[in-house]
């Protein structure tokens, strides 16, 4: 099992301490860790368990119950394809399938170079511009299958020039 | 206590307010079909929906296990609507259940099959996709098979109630939910102590002991010299498998049955227990008089040893170096006993009958063999022994009472018998330590202060020749943790501590017959509160019947030291009877 760096341990301990007076602190702690690190591996859950006296199995259960939490690192660019009803009838499934095909990953997975994570989202409230895709907060309205390759290339070029 | 008026099927009753409908109905003489027969707060989710009834003031049907009674409530258990709904609930549970009942080890004690029969659930009422199945057979003690799991959560509750551990939890969501250690790991590479308490409460065959009956069969088929040794707690509970009331000792019939299964010799692990007291008592005396690490902690319970190695690696010096009684006895059988019988130790096969599943793990520890020869070759539980007896056509209840084989290790004392109950090892050790320090036997024999039959901590101070010896006893890791944290913080005031893995000690071990009220119609309603006490009494009464009640007065033990071991804690004794421990990583890969 990979060991955490001392600074990570301190950071996670600090996050746990933020909520030490809360009667049910687990969701808040996990949420902060998810935001800080992008994922919550078992080693981190063990530290949270020691700090909160909540069993690792229970924490693991919460992490796997909510799709907001992730057990594996997310890519640099998180591609969220909305599959809500409006987007779906406007062809969102074909859009996400295209991302899958080009990146060679399934929804929920991260590309091998660590650049892209593909997520299937439920309604993100942008039905007027369906089908909608959101990449690190930038929203791409009225997506079509033909645009997918171009968008991925844009990000790859951006990375290559960085 | 206030009362409320309710009606069941139109008949008026007064019941305590605050009860659930299920509890109130029970008080009025109704057992609503449910999977809550092990209620005790260890399943209170109302998620299985088996116990649905009609109740006024509620919208639709209610789960009687969680819905409280209130004034004027009219309850209908037998309305066609309620009967139909309960049947549907069970059919839905069965639709995602692996229904290979005739191969299932829980058959006969399966609560799901029981409610299916009661409600008239039909085979194949709902056909569809099954959840993904995960089977964990890596751990020596336990097997987990999610195809049998109904997601009731009792195992999760028991693990945290008994031990504060919470090894098991729900994983994922919806149809993909299953119960497992974190990361869907095996019990073998998570900090599970393999005590088997979860097996005892599982309503189905999702959690079972890892059976070793096939190993015993193989040894018999190969014509080995198969020697059986049975632990004290087994005799206090085996009878339950054959319809005897809880707490009936069946020592004589158990010996007769084991002999009729074709084994060469049947010994009592009590001989090993007496041997343990000689070694452990001597070790304690050394530590007390020569400034060794104190408090010393007993090491008979392999569940407790697992817990210590996972969680208190810094305190392992406090553990007695003594092997547990059956390992000691196994080591003597493979050495002195084999030599005396002219057998090659490699042809001798030792089977331990234990109330425990962690013993299955213990016997496979690398420290549990001498010169490449395992002390013990197979461990079967009380339940597995019952299964072997039943399949062999032996009519247990008609057997005559027989006695243990007597050669070399037939004698045992009352001190050894009480090992099976929490506080027993402590009491047995005190009887011998008192004698060694004072030269006199302890007049009252019985150390009342250390007796009990439940989880929690007991403590006492015994005056021995003007020296006050402070002792404490804990069973279940939740209690043990308190004593261990005291030691870690340097605040412990004790010299000697007994710790047992299971709440109540071995009588409540993970390999003991299931105590499920629904299958025990002749036991009182509060049987879940008193079965440990009843089993403990069976052992205390056997202690009282013994003429010799102190381990050091066991003639054959004295002989064994004279002829073979020399003296307690001798070089030879250390080679055969003592062991070592090592800190372990809980989530190891």
Q: What is the pLDDT of residues B369-422, one digit of tens each?
A: 898 999 999 999 999 999 999 999 999 999 999 999 998 998 888 888 888 888
The burial class, CB within 10 Å (0-12 / 13-18 / 19+), for B457 is: middle
Residue B492 has what pLDDT?
Answer: 94
User: Measured between CA atoms, how close is B19 to chain A, in angstroms?
Assistant: 27
d(CA B88, CA B84): 6
**How large a percentage of chain A has pLDDT more than 70?**
99
Contact B569, B283 (CB under 8 A): yes
Residue B489 has what pLDDT?
Answer: 96
Residue B453 has what pLDDT?
Answer: 73
CA separation, residue B327 to residues B70, B374, B413 (Å): 57, 9, 18
- What tokens appear for B61 in the block? 């049907």
> Chain A residues with CB inside 8 Å of B168's CB?
57
Quick one: angle between helices B80-95 and B111-119, nearest 10? 140
d(CA B187, CA B586): 10
Pick from B199, B187, B260: which is nearest to B512 by CA?
Answer: B199
User: Measured between CA atoms, how close is A116 to chain B, in angstroms?
Assistant: 24
Contact A41, A69 (CB under 8 A): no
> Chain A residues with CB inside 8 Å of B589's CB?
1
- In A, minimum Cα distance to B166 occurs at A55
Residue B39 has what pLDDT?
Answer: 59
Q: Which residue has the tokens 């070399």?
A: B408
d(CA B448, CA B1): 35
Task: Point out the residue among A1, A46, A57 whose CB comes nearest to the CB of B169.
Answer: A57
The b/e string for A97-111 (b: 16+ C-beta within 10 A; e otherwise) is: ebbbeebebebebbb
> Chain A residues with CB inside 8 Å of B587's CB?
1, 42, 46, 56
> Chain A residues with CB inside 8 Å of B181's CB?
57
Task: Point out the residue among A46, A57, A65 whose CB comes nearest to the CB of B168.
Answer: A57
> Chain B residues with CB inside 8 Å of A60's CB?
169, 171, 182-183
Contact B271, B412 (CB under 8 A): yes
- In B, minimum Cα distance to A71 occurs at B183
Instruction: Compute φ and ψ for B171, nearest 5 degrees.
Output: -125, 145
Q: Does B126 touch chain A (CB under 8 A)?
A: no
d(CA A13, CA B192): 25
- A to B CB pairs, distance under 8 Å: 45
Pick from A15, A57, A114, A147: which is nearest to B156 by CA?
Answer: A57
> Chain A residues with CB inside 8 Å of B167's CB?
55, 57
User: Measured between CA atoms, how close is A76 to chain B, in angstroms?
Assistant: 25
Residue B392: CB atoms within 10 A of its CB come to 12
pTM of the model: 0.90
**Cβ–Cβ of B587/A1 closer than 8 Å?**
yes
User: Measured between CA atoms, how close is A51 to chain B, in angstroms?
Assistant: 14
Q: Which of residues 36 through 65 in chain A touch B, CB cutoff 8 A?
A: 42, 45-46, 54-61, 64-65
Q: Does B79 touch chain A (CB under 8 A)?
A: no
Q: Which residue has the tokens 């005590």?
A: B195
Pick from B368, B326, B332, B325: which is nearest to B348 by CA?
Answer: B332
Q: Does B184 touch chain A (CB under 8 A)?
A: no
**Cβ–Cβ of B182/A42 closer than 8 Å?**
yes
Q: Does B173 touch chain A (CB under 8 A)?
A: yes
**Cβ–Cβ of A65/B181 closer than 8 Å?**
no
Pick from B114, B251, B232, B248: which is nearest to B522 by CA?
Answer: B248
Task: Point out the residue among A1, A55, A64 whose CB comes nearest to the CB of B589.
Answer: A1
Task: Point out the residue among B172, B182, B588 whose CB comes nearest to the CB of A57.
Answer: B182
> Chain B residues with CB inside 8 Å of A3's CB?
none
Task: Point out the residue among A56, A57, A65 whose CB comes nearest to the CB of B173.
Answer: A65
User: Measured between CA atoms, how close is B310 to chain A, in angstroms?
Assistant: 13
**Cβ–Cβ of A57/B173 closer than 8 Å?**
no
**Cβ–Cβ of A58/B166 closer than 8 Å?**
yes
- In B, minimum Cα distance to A1 occurs at B589
Residue A2 has what pLDDT?
Answer: 56
Contact B294, B470 (CB under 8 A): no
Residue B570: CB atoms within 10 A of its CB come to 16
Residue B525 has what pLDDT?
Answer: 85
Contact B193, B477 (CB under 8 A): yes
Q: Does A118 touch chain B (CB under 8 A)?
A: no
Contact B514, B200 (CB under 8 A): yes
- What tokens appear for A32 in the block? 């902060």
> Chain A residues with CB inside 8 Å of B134's CB?
none
User: Measured between CA atoms, how close is B589 to chain A, in angstroms?
Assistant: 7
d(CA B195, CA B160): 13
Interface mutation vs chain B, best among A57, A59, A60, most B CBs within 10 Å = A57
> Chain A residues with CB inside 8 Å of B156's CB?
57
**Cβ–Cβ of A59/B182 closer than 8 Å?**
yes
Task: Point out the residue among A42, A54, A55 whose CB comes nearest to the CB of B183.
Answer: A42
Spell out, as residue ranges, where chain A has pLDDT lower than 50: 1
> Chain B residues with CB inside 8 Å of A65's CB?
170, 172-173
- In A, minimum Cα distance to B589 occurs at A1
**Cβ–Cβ of A57/B587 closer than 8 Å?**
no
Provide the 3-class DSSP secondary structure of residue A81. strand
Spell out, as residue ranges, where chain B has pLDDT lower than 70: 37-44
**Cβ–Cβ of A60/B171 closer than 8 Å?**
yes
Residue B130: CB atoms within 10 A of its CB come to 12
User: Measured between CA atoms, how close is A140 to chain B, in angstroms?
Assistant: 30
> Chain A residues with CB inside 8 Å of B173's CB?
64-65
Q: Which residue has the tokens 């799709």?
A: A67
Report which secondary-structure segment, H or E, holds B278.
Answer: helix B269-290
The burial class, CB within 10 Å (0-12 / 13-18 / 19+), for B432 is: buried
- What tokens appear for B176 in the block? 């993909």
> Chain B residues with CB inside 8 Å of A45's CB?
182
**Cβ–Cβ of A56/B171 closer than 8 Å?**
no
d(CA B587, CA B514): 30
Beta bridge partners of A77: A116
**Cβ–Cβ of B172/A60 closer than 8 Å?**
no
Residue B1 has what pLDDT?
Answer: 73
Interface mutation vs chain B, best among A39, A40, A48, A56, most B CBs within 10 Å = A56
Report which secondary-structure segment, H or E, holds A160.
Answer: helix A148-161
**Cβ–Cβ of B171/A46 closer than 8 Å?**
no
Residue B35 DSSP code: S
Pick from A54, A46, A67: which is nearest to B156 by CA?
Answer: A54
d(CA B564, CA B339): 11
Contact B204, B94 (CB under 8 A): no
> Average pLDDT of chain A?
92
Residue B3: CB atoms within 10 A of its CB come to 11
Residue B161 has what pLDDT?
Answer: 85
- In A, minimum Cα distance to B588 occurs at A1
Residue A14: CB atoms within 10 A of its CB come to 11
Provide the 3-class DSSP secondary structure of residue B86. helix
Pick from B401, B433, B402, B440: which is nearest to B415 by CA?
Answer: B433
CA separation, residue B14 to residues B8, B27, B32, B74 (Å): 11, 10, 18, 12
User: Measured between CA atoms, how close is B585 to chain A, in angstroms?
Assistant: 10
Instruction: Compute φ and ψ for A149, nearest 5 degrees.
Output: -60, -40
Quick one: angle between helices A6-18 and A26-37, nearest 10? 140
């Amino acid at each position: 099992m990979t060991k955490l760096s001392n600074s990570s341990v301190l950071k996670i301990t600090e996050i746990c301490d933020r909520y030490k007076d809360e009667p049910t602190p687990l969701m808040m702690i996990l949420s902060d860790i998810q935001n800080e690190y992008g994922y919550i591996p078992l080693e981190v859950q063990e530290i949270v368990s020691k700090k909160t006296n909540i069993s690792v199995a229970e924490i693991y259960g919460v992490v796997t119950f909510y799709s907001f939490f992730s057990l594996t690192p997310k890519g640099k660019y998180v591609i969220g394809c909305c599959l809500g009803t409006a987007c779906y009838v406007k062809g969102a499934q074909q859009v996400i399938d295209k991302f899958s095909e080009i990146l060679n990953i399934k929804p929920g997975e991260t590309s091998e170079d660590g650049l892209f994570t593909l997520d299937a989202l439920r309604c993100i409230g942008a039905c007027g511009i369906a089908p909608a895709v959101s990449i690190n907060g930038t929203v791409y309205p009225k997506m079509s299958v033909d645009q997918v390759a171009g968008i991925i290339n844009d990000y790859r070029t951006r990375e290559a020039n960085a | 206590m206030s009362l409320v008026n309710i009606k069941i099927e139109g008949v008026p009753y007064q019941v305590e307010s605050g009860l659930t409908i299920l509890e109130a109905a029970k008080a009025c003489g109704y057992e609503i079909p449910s999977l809550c027969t092990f209620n005790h707060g260890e399943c209170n989710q109302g998620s299985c929906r088996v116990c649905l009834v009609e109740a006024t003031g509620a919208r639709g049907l209610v789960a009687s296990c969680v819905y409280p009674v209130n004034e004027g409530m009219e309850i209908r258990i037998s309305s066609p609507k309620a009967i139909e709904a309960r049947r549907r609930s069970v059919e839905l549970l069965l639709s995602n259940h692996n229904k290979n009942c005739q191969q299932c080890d829980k058959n006969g004690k399966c609560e799901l099959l029981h409610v299916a029969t009661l409600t008239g659930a039909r085979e194949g009422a709902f056909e569809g996709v099954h959840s993904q199945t995960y089977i964990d057979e890596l751990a020596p003690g336990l097997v987990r098979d999610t195809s049998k799991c109904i997601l009731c959560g009792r195992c999760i509750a028991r693990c945290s109630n008994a031990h504060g551990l919470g090894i098991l939890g729900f994983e994922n969501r919806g149809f993909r939910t299953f119960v497992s250690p974190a990361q869907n790991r095996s019990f073998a590479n998570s900090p599970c102590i393999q005590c088997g308490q979860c097996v005892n409460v599982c309503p189905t065959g999702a959690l079972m002991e890892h059976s070793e009956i096939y190993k015993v069969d193989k040894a018999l088929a190969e014509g080995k010299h198969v020697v059986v040794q049975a632990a004290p707690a087994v005799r206090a509970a085996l009878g339950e498998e054959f319809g005897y009331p809880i707490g009936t000792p069946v020592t004589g019939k158990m010996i007769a049955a084991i002999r009729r299964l074709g084994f060469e010799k049947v010994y009592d692990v009590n001989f090993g227990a007496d041997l343990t007291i000689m070694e452990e008592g001597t070790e304690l005396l050394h530590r007390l008089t020569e400034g060794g690490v104190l408090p010393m902690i007993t090491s008979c319970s392999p569940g407790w040893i697992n817990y210590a190695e996972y969680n208190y690696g810094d305190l392992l010096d406090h553990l007695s170096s003594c092997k547990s009684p059956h390992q000691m006895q196994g080591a003597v059988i493979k050495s002195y006993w084999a030599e005396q019988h002219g057998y090659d130790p490699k042809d001798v096969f030792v089977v331990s009958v234990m109330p425990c599943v962690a013993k299955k793990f213990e016997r496979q520890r690398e420290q549990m063999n001498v010169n490449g020869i395992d002390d013990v070759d197979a461990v079967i539980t009380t339940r597995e022994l019952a299964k072997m007896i039943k399949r062999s056509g032996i009519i247990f209840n008609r057997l005559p009472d027989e006695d243990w084989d007597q050669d070399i290790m037939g004698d045992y004392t009352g001190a050894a018998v009480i090992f099976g109950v929490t506080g027993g090892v402590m009491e047995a050790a005190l009887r011998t330590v008192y004698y060694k320090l004072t030269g006199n036997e302890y007049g009252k024999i019985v150390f009342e202060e250390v007796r009990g039959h439940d989880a929690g901590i007991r403590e006492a101070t015994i005056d021995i020749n003007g020296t006050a010896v402070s002792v404490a006893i804990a069973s279940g890791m939740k209690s043990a943790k308190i004593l261990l944290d005291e030691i870690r913080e340097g605040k412990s005031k004790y010299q000697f501590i007994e710790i047992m893995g299971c709440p109540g000690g071995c009588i409540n071990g993970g390999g003991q017959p299931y105590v499920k009220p629904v299958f025990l119609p002749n036991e009182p309603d509060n049987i879940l509160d008193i079965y440990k006490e009843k089993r403990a009494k069976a052992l205390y009464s056997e202690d009282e019947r013994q003429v010799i009640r102190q381990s050091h007065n066991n003639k054959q033990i004295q002989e064994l030291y004279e002829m073979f071991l020399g003296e307690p804690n001798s070089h030879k004794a250390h080679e055969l009877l003592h062991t070592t421990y090592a800190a372990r990583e809980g989530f190891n890969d």
